[in-house]
Amino acid sequence: MSRRPAAVTNRSQAQAPSPTATLDESASRDRSHHVSLLREMTRIRLFEERCVELYSSGNIRGFLHVAIGEEAVAVGVMQTLTAEDAVVSTYREHGHALARGVPMDTVMAEMYGKVTGCSRGRGGSMHLFDVGRRFYGGNAIVGGGLPLAIGLALADKMQGRPAVTACFFGDGAFAEGEFHECVNLAALWRLPVLFACENNFYAMGTAIARAQAQTDLALRAASYGIASWAVDGMDVLAVEEASRKAVDRIRNGGGPCFLELRTYRFRAHSMYDPDRYRDKAEIARWKERDPLELLARRLSDDGTLTPGDRENMTVQVNAEVDQAVQAAEAAPFEPVEDLTRFVYSEPVEEVAR
Amino acid sequence: MSRRPAAVTNRSQAQAPSPTATLDESASRDRSHHVSLLREMTRIRLFEERCVELYSSGNIRGFLHVAIGEEAVAVGVMQTLTAEDAVVSTYREHGHALARGVPMDTVMAEMYGKVTGCSRGRGGSMHLFDVGRRFYGGNAIVGGGLPLAIGLALADKMQGRPAVTACFFGDGAFAEGEFHECVNLAALWRLPVLFACENNFYAMGTAIARAQAQTDLALRAASYGIASWAVDGMDVLAVEEASRKAVDRIRNGGGPCFLELRTYRFRAHSMYDPDRYRDKAEIARWKERDPLELLARRLSDDGTLTPGDRENMTVQVNAEVDQAVQAAEAAPFEPVEDLTRFVYSEPVEEVAR
Amino acid sequence: MTAATTMPTTIPATAAKAGTVETTYREALREAIREAMQKDDRVFLMGEDVGMYGGCFAVSLGLLEEFGPERIRDTPLSESGFVGAGIGAAIAGMRPIVEIMTVNFSLLALDQILNNAATLLHMSGGQVHVPLVIRMTTGAGRQLAAQHSHSFEGWYAHIPGIKVVAPATLEDARGMLWTALQDPDPVLLFEHGSLYNMSGTLAEDAGPVDIQRAVVRRPGRDLTLVSYGGSLPKTLAAAESLAADGIEAEVLDLRVLRPLDDETITDSVRRTHRAVIVDEGWRSGGLSAEISARLTEQCFYDLDSPVERVCSAEVPMPYAKHLEDAALPQPETIAAAGRKVVG
Amino acid sequence: MTAATTMPTTIPATAAKAGTVETTYREALREAIREAMQKDDRVFLMGEDVGMYGGCFAVSLGLLEEFGPERIRDTPLSESGFVGAGIGAAIAGMRPIVEIMTVNFSLLALDQILNNAATLLHMSGGQVHVPLVIRMTTGAGRQLAAQHSHSFEGWYAHIPGIKVVAPATLEDARGMLWTALQDPDPVLLFEHGSLYNMSGTLAEDAGPVDIQRAVVRRPGRDLTLVSYGGSLPKTLAAAESLAADGIEAEVLDLRVLRPLDDETITDSVRRTHRAVIVDEGWRSGGLSAEISARLTEQCFYDLDSPVERVCSAEVPMPYAKHLEDAALPQPETIAAAGRKVVG
Ligand SMILES: Cc1ncc(C[n+]2csc(CCOP(=O)(O)OP(=O)(O)O)c2C)c(N)n1
Ligand SMILES: Cc1ncc(C[n+]2csc(CCOP(=O)(O)OP(=O)(O)O)c2C)c(N)n1
Ligand SMILES: [Mg+2]
Ligand SMILES: [Mg+2]
């Protein structure tokens, strides 16, 4: 299987570490690892497809943003993080949460607004949290997670922990002032932050060229004096490789890194979006590079995965999704008397802290 | 006299216009023009030195930020603007106002809080306005003038006026999110904006290297895809030359330009500042490049200005300052009953609009 | 004052004289933008996804095709930048309509709104006028959770130098924009998200309405229910249920949150001697507090019982429907407060 | 609740038992920071010019030398970025003190304060605690004009999820910070610019004070003057001048603006039956409105006259001294309001 190094373009002004020195070749050589990548992406895909159905049937409400087509980004990056690392995400974060290990049934229960949800039903699709897994949400203010992320990294650094904070955000968020402030701060203070920019070429209906004077985001990020790479975000192996390189560098005190993960959402921005602004042919072209199919084809080409294996995987994952839906449906709502809880911390928690 | 082209470093990614084609050589060749530049800088210098005295004597209150040492920036840039162009400034803007042609006595009256002041005494040192001269203030939120400036430019462009908006701001403002948003917007929409960054290497007590991960601001600005130059901001001729090049380019539809005008404030940030953070030797070194003395030396070397001429100039300018002080002292305060005026527009003005 | 001062107060659709059309709040807003764009070429609309996408709540759908990308101007995600650009453009002679998708995001632009738009006229000694209109969606009720459900219009009403309006009817959705555009000062126009689909009839020749007066939407003698925006339908429903109990509530629609129309409010309360204020904003320090304080100041001796407030629970809005419902003013809670002040 | 619940209410310096020291509000704030840094190595101070410059109002002068640049951390001009970084750092186990130079600039960080700091605990279903303290300078009186003179502490008090405190005395300047740092939720601490030079004596062993209760700073039977922060000295002066007329005013110092200590306020008003609220914020929709509304709700039948408010004129603050003076609450205007409610 080819390593596709061309998929990673080095935009760093600083000198990049030699790929052979910093890449963990063994992991990606491992066939079972590749199968697990496919399984993770499949979990996200099938979970989100089910969510779309459940939205249509009215079981899920509010805003629902799925990342179908972008699964390789979440799964590739998460491979390179440890349990001590932290993750900050967006409102399009089911994939990040699942790939980070947030149990599917707590995520589904959250979609249902149930008390068993990972945010007790208070957050919904846009606000998945799991502090035990250092998954700090779920932020629906575009760019709003960036300052949090540099703060988490600052605290880790000041407390001498070797953790890295991965912060996901979109091409749209790149235009927000907070991006500028945070990349500069991270670079200035050499904070252990991975800026994982999911460039899906649109912010709602606005194509990147209509939002950014300079659309080469990796180049732009490099101007802050940080290491920066553009990556084929449809190729989970390329994402993992680039992210591992970046995370190693960060963990070794190399300062923050920026990854421009070029990807595409196959569906509309949200369930409200009639998707008037994209060319059908463009969507079709990107679908040819479906990250699940890309990997599956490789695994079938090199004999790792038979059609039966793939079928089995789908069945298993669908069973997991079914189970999550059943659990969510069976779960209770939070009592309405608890409405005003969690505005301020509760005494019992204070004692436990 | 040497043209000092080395003082202008081209940082543009875009192709820069050839200097010979776009620079207005005739103006800077004109000796009387050079004398007028010295006079303008002297006006600012002596005005501000007087303000410092008046602050100590309690006639001026509030915050007072002088730009002593930075006069070449204001004077050089203003030479290249027409009456139709617009200016947006900062809280360190006496020099910008005076060089723009706001009468000294209205500026001094404003410092005194008198109704004859250019903002009727409501603004004070930080909020000088003269809409008739398209001088839109005087903004004391660092970076706060940038969005205004791009809006002025947008309106000019939409209405087919050939005007350029010059926006002054500091190295400190460069770190604000608004900078990022506004440069991108200006570049994206090719707005006629001159971003005139007064890099005096400090934001209050914070040296630029302690605030910016990448201190080459012209390089950083170029990453937005706009033409960008670093300029010796102590050399008024270099400033004028660079600004003329930039303004011509902007006026001809070339999109926004960025000038990093490298300068230095000889005095503390404000009258409250004990200036603990700068090395005395550093200050002394920069004072050797006093923009007034630099130009005066040249004019004396090439025989344009005799010591007597210089002395005369000082006397005349001092007389202008004296006159402004006398007028300010004699002027009335606004009646206190008028306190709540100008929160909303008044009917009579509405009719006149 | 603006030309609008002489215009009649908005009247219920049922009283319309000319022919009527079926329309929605969303369409009425769109018609208002379209008309303004046609009548005045200084007017343009700017904001995130107002063009190609058609507006995040489809208000501006079709306008890009009609007016082109210069005047229906999509922006990057740069709230402070483009709101400030609207201020600058207004100063330099345009009449911008800036759209902020949701009131929560407006916090990113609050520095520009407060420190510049609201302040420039005063600190320039009367020189710099900012004839800008900013539209935003406000309010909860659609399970959008804690970062998309706030009601800050009352909070904005704290700021001198701006005006704040909140259309609650088709007439006002159709008519407030033009009047706001004629105003020489910044006007913030809040559209409640739950009203976009509200349908009804509107006079064919519906046009500009004043942005100065509150109006009585339902007359009554026993108590005054003060309301506005997305809470108006709920308050009218509460009045119906009170009527079933023989309590006749007068329902006021504030329409304009800054400056408040004290006269209409006190006129009503002087007649009914009892008041309940309904405000989807948080209670503490909200608009409801201001109205209560003014009633104390202006008609203390007319009040037969303490002024009551029905507001949102002081929580960031939860996603789950039962919790969101419990957090918001509802016809039942409004009616209960009405019974309390009467009882 | 925090350990502070059991702590005594702050008491006037004159009653101090141990030895006393001469100090200023500024020094007391500095001592509080210093002590917190010494006692808890999770505490650090972050903001513009807190280090090399010594703090824009010299509060943190000398701390850089004592604690080094990691813990006295100068930031670039990036209010949203570094306030948000403080939130993140608090979540991950630090106890940051973030300084925003002046409340006006905090608008640039309001999205982070409201949409994140105040909201994360709730929208995470109780998981994400934000033990953050944000300090800022507030208020007018120094001719700093329209972009440096606001009083937004009352406006901030509208936001559920945060606490808002305003030290008006040396004891509180010295003692509120530590208690705020022990709080598991975000606390905003507002220092009035006109108080920094206030001097007086403080107990040598002055330490933490509660951040829950309002206190009576001057007892009186005829009316209650409710005040806080920079208005407290003016209100006490007004009480003296009323006393000269034989009117005994009770002066309350709110200390904590969110959550308000209703009990102490209503206790006093139930005794005096009359109230004037003094608040440097703008009047419409300010904190003064909330207190007035609550007095109506909680002691309507105890009130002998309508609650009055003395606030800042609703103007962006002008530079000229005579106009600024006229815009602000002054002892004379406070006393006049007092006479009005008594008279
Ligand atoms: C501050 C802010 N502005 C606007 C929005 C509305 N909005 C939600 S998602 C979105 C597009 C974001 O695009 P991008 O960052 O590229 O992420 P993507 O949706 O493509 O994953 C917009 C405009 C918001 N949530 N927050
Ligand atoms: C948003 C904001 N933050 C902080 C301040 C306080 N402040 C005033 S001037 C200044 C330094 C600005 O530095 P720079 O932009 O380099 O301009 P200079 O003063 O050097 O001319 C600071 C921090 C402010 N006025 N506005
Ligand atoms: Mg995108
Ligand atoms: Mg500077």
CA of C47 from ligand 1 middle (Å) equals 13
With a 6 A CB cut-off, is D326 part of the ligand 2 pocket?
Answer: no
Whole-angstrom distance, CA of residue B309 vs CA of residue B121: 36
Are residues C77 and A143, on separate chains, in Cβ contact within 8 Å? yes
What is the DSSP-derived secondary structure letter of residue D41? Answer: T
pLDDT at res. A236: 98
Cα-flanking dihedrals φ and ψ of residue A261, to 5°?
-100, 105
Our measurement of the distance from residue A279's CA atom to the centroid of its chain's CA atoms, rounded to an integer in Å, reads 25
Say whether pLDDT at A97 is over 70.
yes
Say whether pLDDT at C7 is over 70.
no
Pairing of strands B8-10, B227-232: antiparallel
Q: What is the mean pLDDT of chain B?
A: 92
Are residues B210 and D319, on separate chains, in Cβ contact within 8 Å? no
Measure Cα distances from C76 to A167, A222, D80 in Å.
Answer: 21, 21, 19
Q: Which residues of C are catalytic?
A: 79, 148
What is the DSSP-derived secondary structure letter of residue A270? Answer: S
Ligand nearest to the CA of B65: 2
pLDDT band with cut points at 50, 70 and 90 for residue B1: very low
Are residues A63 and C144, on separate chains, in Cβ contact within 8 Å? yes
CB C313 within 8 A of CB A340: yes
Say whether pLDDT at C283 is over 80.
yes
pLDDT band with cut points at 50, 70 and 90 for residue A29: low
pLDDT at res. A351: 40
pLDDT band with cut points at 50, 70 and 90 for residue D343: confident
Q: Look at the alpha carbons of A289, A290, A295, A296 in this order and tell me if their dihedral is positive or negative.
A: negative
Are residues D125 and A130, on separate chains, in Cβ contact within 8 Å? no
- The ipTM of this complex is 0.94
Cα-flanking dihedrals φ and ψ of residue D37, to 5°?
-65, -35
Say whether pLDDT at C43 is over 50.
yes
pLDDT band with cut points at 50, 70 and 90 for residue C343: confident
Say whether pLDDT at C5 is over 90.
no
Whole-angstrom distance, CA of residue B188 vs CA of residue B191: 8
Instruction: Ligand 1, residue A140: give the atom nearest the CA.
Output: 25
Tell me the per-residue pLDDT of A160-211, one tens digit each, with 9 for 90 and over.
999 999 999 999 999 999 999 999 999 999 999 999 999 999 999 999 999 9
Neighbours of C273 (CB within 10 A): 17
pLDDT at res. B25: 53
Average pLDDT score over residue span C8-33? 76
pLDDT band with cut points at 50, 70 and 90 for residue A348: low
Whole-angstrom distance, CA of residue A307 vs CA of residue D106: 59
Q: Is D206 on the interface with A (CB under 8 A)?
A: no
Q: What is the mean pLDDT of chain C?
A: 95
pLDDT at res. B21: 42
Closest by CA to D123, choosing from B261, A110, A186, is A110
Say whether pLDDT at C3 is over 60.
no
pLDDT at res. A40: 98
Say whether pLDDT at A347 is over 90.
no
Average pLDDT score over residue span B216-243? 98
Alpha carbons within 13 A on the beta-carbon side of C250: 23
* Paired residues of B166 in beta bridges: B87, B194
Q: Which residue of D has its CA nearest to B143?
A: D77
SS3 A230: strand
Alpha carbons within 13 A on the beta-carbon side of B2: 7
Tell me the per-residue pLDDT of B147-201, one tens digit each, with 9 for 90 and over.
999 999 999 999 999 999 999 999 999 999 999 999 999 999 999 999 999 999 9
CA of D147 from ligand 2 middle (Å) equals 12
- Contacts of residue A244, defined as CB under 8 A and 6 or more positions apart, other chains included, come to A22, A23, A24, A27, A79, A80
Query: Mind giving me the DSSP string for D173-192?
Result: HHHHHHHHHHSSS-EEEEEE
Q: Is the pTM for the entire model greater than 0.90?
A: yes
Residue with tokens 């420039």: C120
Choose from A63, A89, A181, A208 for mutation: most chain C CBs within 10 A.
A63
In the structure encoding, which two tokens stand for residue D30, read together? 């500095």
- In the chain, the amino acid numbered A157 is K
CA of A205 from ligand 1 middle (Å) equals 10
Choose from C323, C325, C328, C333 for mutation: most chain A CBs within 10 A.
C323
If 0-12 CB within 10 Å is exposed, 13-18 middle and 19+ buried, where does residue A193 land?
Answer: buried
Q: Which of B141, B212, B339 sits opposite D315 (nearest CB)?
A: B339
pLDDT at res. D262: 98
Q: Is C307 on the interface with D (CB under 8 A)?
A: yes
Say whether pLDDT at A19 is over 80.
no
Say whether pLDDT at A1 is over 60.
no
Whether a cis peptide bond, with omega within 30° of 0, leads into C259 is: yes
CA of A240 from ligand 3 middle (Å) equals 20
Tell me the per-residue pLDDT of D132-142, one tens digit each, with 9 for 90 and over.
999 999 999 99
Whole-angstrom distance, CA of residue A299 vs CA of residue D141: 73
CB B328 within 8 A of CB B106: no
Q: Is B281 on the interface with A (CB under 8 A)?
A: no
Residues of D in contact with A149 (CB under 8 A): 88
pLDDT band with cut points at 50, 70 and 90 for residue B347: confident
Q: Ligand 1, atom 21: nearest CA belongs to which residue?
A: A170
Across B105-217, where does the E strand assignment appear? 165-170, 193-199, 202-203, 206-207
Whole-angstrom distance, CA of residue A184 vs CA of residue A179: 8
Percentage of residues in chain C having pLDDT higher than 90: 94
Say whether pLDDT at D198 is over 90.
yes
Is residue D148 flagged as an active site residue? yes
CB C299 within 8 A of CB C270: yes
* Paired residues of C200 in beta bridges: C23
Closest by CA to B86, choosing from B159, B168, B169, B142, is B168
Closest by CA to C67, choosing from C37, C95, C89, is C37
D171 min Cα distance to partner chain C (Å): 27
CB A68 within 8 A of CB A265: yes
Closest by CA to A77, choosing from A234, A236, A186, is A236
H-assigned helices in chain D: 25-39, 63-71, 79-91, 110, 120-123, 153-156, 170-182, 231-244, 262-272, 287-299, 321-327, 331-342
Tell me the per-residue pLDDT of B118-155, one tens digit each, with 9 for 90 and over.
999 999 999 999 999 999 999 999 999 999 999 999 99
pLDDT at res. B26: 58
pLDDT at res. A25: 53
Tell me the per-residue pLDDT of D287-315, one tens digit each, with 9 for 90 and over.
999 999 999 999 999 999 999 999 999 99
Whole-angstrom distance, CA of residue D317 vs CA of residue D327: 7
SS3 D326: helix
Q: Ligand 1, atom 8: nearest CA belongs to which residue?
A: A142
SS3 A239: helix
Say whether pLDDT at B353 is over 80.
no
Say whether pLDDT at B7 is over 70.
no
Considering only CA atoms, give the Rg of chain A: 20
Considering only CA atoms, give the Rg of chain D: 19
Whether a cis peptide bond, with omega within 30° of 0, leads into D259 is: yes
Probe ligand 2: pick from B70, B91, B142, B169, max atoms within 8 Å of CB?
B142
CA of A173 from ligand 1 middle (Å) equals 7
CB D214 within 8 A of CB D265: yes
With a 6 A CB cut-off, is B263 part of the ligand 2 pocket?
Answer: no
Across C259-341, where does the E strand assignment appear? 275-282, 308-312
Choose from C26, C53, C70 for mutation: most chain A CBs within 10 A.
C53
Say whether pLDDT at D14 is over 80.
no
Average pLDDT score over residue span A129-154? 98
